[in-house]
Amino acid sequence: MCRFPSIFLLLALILSGCASELERKFKELDHVIAERDVYRVRLERKADSLRSLMAVATTDSARWEYSESLFLLFKYWQADSAMTYLDKMDASSGGNHAKTLHAMLERSDVEVLLRHYSEAEDMLDKLDTSVMTDAELAAYYKADLFLDGIKAVDEMIPEDDRKEIVEKRHVKRLAYINNPEIEPFELIRRNGMQLYESGRPGEAISILRDLVNNSEGIKDKSEAAYSLAFAYSYTGNRKMREYWLAQSAIYSLEIPTRASLALFELSNMLFEDNQLGQASRYCQVALEDALNSKYNSRIMNSANSMLYIVRAVGHKSKEDRAAYIFIIIVLGLLFAMTVALLVLSFRQHKTIKRKNRLLEDANEVKTEYITRHITMSAYYMEDIERYRHELRSKLKEGGVDAIMELLRKPPEEVVDYKTFFKIFDDTFVGLYPDFADKVNELLRPEARFTLKNPRELTTGLRILAAIRIGITDSGKIAKFLHCAPSSVYTHRCKIKKGAVCHPEDFERKISEIE
């Protein structure tokens, strides 16, 4: 008769024990949140120390190692700094294949956190996996799975597409697990993920709990605890999931990192449990970290958290309406700020891509210019040598009189001006392909230039081309074109008379042609 009360009492004690254990974990999390500045200062001091060492490094190898250490410090902390040290890693790699590949895979992770999925995919697609070693292939799979993992929880991506990503991720993870060079920690964690996704959460919980306890690095403990929390979601045990999300968040804050999802998910669960004050506090911390990190994927997570909050507030009782309305207004402002930051980030990204394209075009033009300059210089050095050889031959054959006769020849018979003008015309038309058309737009129909060959300028157009590149003095133009200054002056006056605008404005408009 008294067995049933005893059982109920035992269950009550177990549940109260779980609840008190969870409350203690929340208090520990609150304490760590209060100490955030301590962890931030510790990170900054470590970064300063590494920067000092890198500044006095004398070899590319040492600079690369310090750059990598700084990158790993900032990878999940601040996007701009992470990209800066990735650039330094590339600059000091010395063309080493392994270092270049490592930097590219890390860069794809950062692009994923920035929510630049297409850029990350392009980087990974360019890599030839058929020539990779097992170790390189393991690193590649890890980066590819990271991309899929973030996309799979991105609610901006259509649900059907996300389901397809999850299915493909399952196959990729098996290939990763079977790679002989996979890190032991990754092997156990990924096996745990395979187990709970295959409907065996109990086995997953067992191996993931051991992984948390046995891992030495705090980053590994954070990732293992987060995976363990996910395993509990398959059992329906909310309290244990909240417990391990809190533990993962504690580890993440102590690292410190701003890219963890644990605090976001914990705040969402607490709002669903109507623990508004605690959830709001955790959401605020997660939002601050997301904005400071500049990682768009995490900013999107914070936006989703806010939507959860608003939904939860909507179900509260009328007597608390004023407080909830205030919270909604504050969260609405934060949401608007988040959206504004996202829009600004996307615009900056587009601007950077456009400027990069312009830089690439400018580099191509610069290369073409240098090539033509070298070609022209080599040609004239050869021409001078040929002329010197001819002078020596004339001196031997006919003496001074023969040389004097050669010097009396018109310059056109000695110097190959046609080749010079051809190189100049090709170069200028390459830089300003529509130059002749734009000049003709400034002239009346009867004064316009007609070109037999679109890549060969007339004398008048060469004069205007010289003006466009900054040679405006008639004497200098005459030397450049090998003609009399009076001839250049006459051409300029004649062209200006045919202008549709005021003659004094014509050459200014020529100099502004792009």
> Tens digits of per-residue pLDDT, 362-389?
666 666 655 665 666 666 667 677 777 7
Q: What average pLDDT does the segment 284-295 reach?
A: 85
pLDDT value of residue 469 = 82
* Residue 424 covered by a domain: yes
* Residue 70 covered by a domain: no
- Same-domain pairing of 368 and 426: no
Report whether pLDDT(455) > 70: yes
Q: What average pLDDT does the segment 252-269 reach?
A: 90
Radius of gyration for the alpha carbons in the chain, expressed in angstroms and rounded: 36
Q: What average pLDDT does the segment 8-36 reach?
A: 76
Give the pTM: 0.62
- Same-domain pairing of 369 and 270: yes
Q: What average pLDDT does the segment 100-106 reach?
A: 96
pLDDT value of residue 15 = 47
* Residue 306 covered by a domain: yes
pLDDT value of residue 105 = 96
Report whether pLDDT(346) > 80: no
- Domain assignment of residue 459, given as a range: 417-511
CB 510 within 8 A of CB 467: yes
pLDDT value of residue 316 = 53
Q: Which of 215-229, 318-332, 465-479 is predicted with the least confidence, judged by mean pLDDT?
A: 318-332
pLDDT value of residue 301 = 64
- Same-domain pairing of 262 and 365: yes
Q: Which of 42-46, 334-338, 500-504 is predicted with the least confidence, judged by mean pLDDT?
A: 334-338
The last residue of a domain, from among 317, 348, 375: 375
- Band of the pLDDT at 248, cuts 50, 70, 90? very high
Give percent of the chain with pLDDT exceeding 70: 83
Count Cβ atoms within 10 A of the Cβ of residue 63 and give its class: 0-12 exposed, 13-18 middle, 19 or more buried. Answer: buried
HEC profile for 320-368? Answer: HHHHHHHHHHHHHHHHHHHHHHHHHHHHHHHHHHHHHHHHHHHHHHHHH
pLDDT value of residue 332 = 73
Report whether pLDDT(318) > 50: no
Q: What average pLDDT does the segment 284-311 reach?
A: 73
Give percent of the chain with pLDDT exceeding 90: 42
CB 490 within 8 A of CB 482: no
Q: Which of 117-131, 283-297, 401-415, 469-483 is predicted with the least confidence, judged by mean pLDDT?
A: 401-415
- Band of the pLDDT at 117, cuts 50, 70, 90? very high
* Residue 52 covered by a domain: no
144 closest CA partner among 114, 180, 176, 102: 176
- Band of the pLDDT at 323, cuts 50, 70, 90? low
* Residue 34 covered by a domain: no
Q: What average pLDDT does the segment 401-416 reach?
A: 65
* Residue 38 covered by a domain: no
pLDDT value of residue 1 = 43
Between these two residues, 381 and 124, which has the higher pLDDT value?
124
Residue 466 tokens read as: 């010289």
Q: What average pLDDT does the segment 259-275 reach?
A: 87
Number of domains in the chain: 2
The last residue of a domain, from among 319, 352, 375: 375
Condensed to tens digits (0 to 9), the pLDDT of residues 133-184 reads 999 999 999 999 999 999 988 878 888 998 999 888 888 999 999 999 999 9
pLDDT value of residue 157 = 86
pLDDT value of residue 366 = 61
Highest mean pLDDT among 96-105, 426-435, 447-456: 96-105
CA atoms of 172 and 147, how far apart (whole Å): 12
Condensed to tens digits (0 to 9), the pLDDT of residues 460-512 reads 998 998 888 888 888 888 887 878 888 888 988 999 888 998 888 898 898 88
* Residue 305 covered by a domain: yes
Q: What average pLDDT does the segment 251-276 reach?
A: 89
- Same-domain pairing of 277 and 366: yes
Per-residue buried b or exposed e for 136-150, using 16+ beta carbons within 10 Å of the residue's own CB? bbbbbbbbbbbbbbb
308 closest CA partner among 286, 289, 337: 286
Q: Which of 132-141, 144-153, 225-234, 243-252 is predicted with the least confidence, judged by mean pLDDT?
A: 144-153
How many whole angstroms from its chain centre is CA 429? 35
Q: List, in order, residues 6 or more apart from 110 with CB less than 8 Å away.
A: 75, 79, 82, 83, 86
* Residue 297 covered by a domain: yes
- Same-domain pairing of 321 and 426: no
210 closest CA partner among 196, 231, 189: 189
Q: Which residues pair with 353 in a beta bridge?
A: none
- Same-domain pairing of 291 and 341: yes
Centre a 10 Å sphere on the Cβ of residue 96 and count the other Cβ atoms it contains: 14
pLDDT value of residue 217 = 93
Report whether pLDDT(227) > 60: yes
Condensed to tens digits (0 to 9), the pLDDT of residues 424-449 reads 888 888 778 888 899 999 999 998 99
- Same-domain pairing of 369 and 426: no
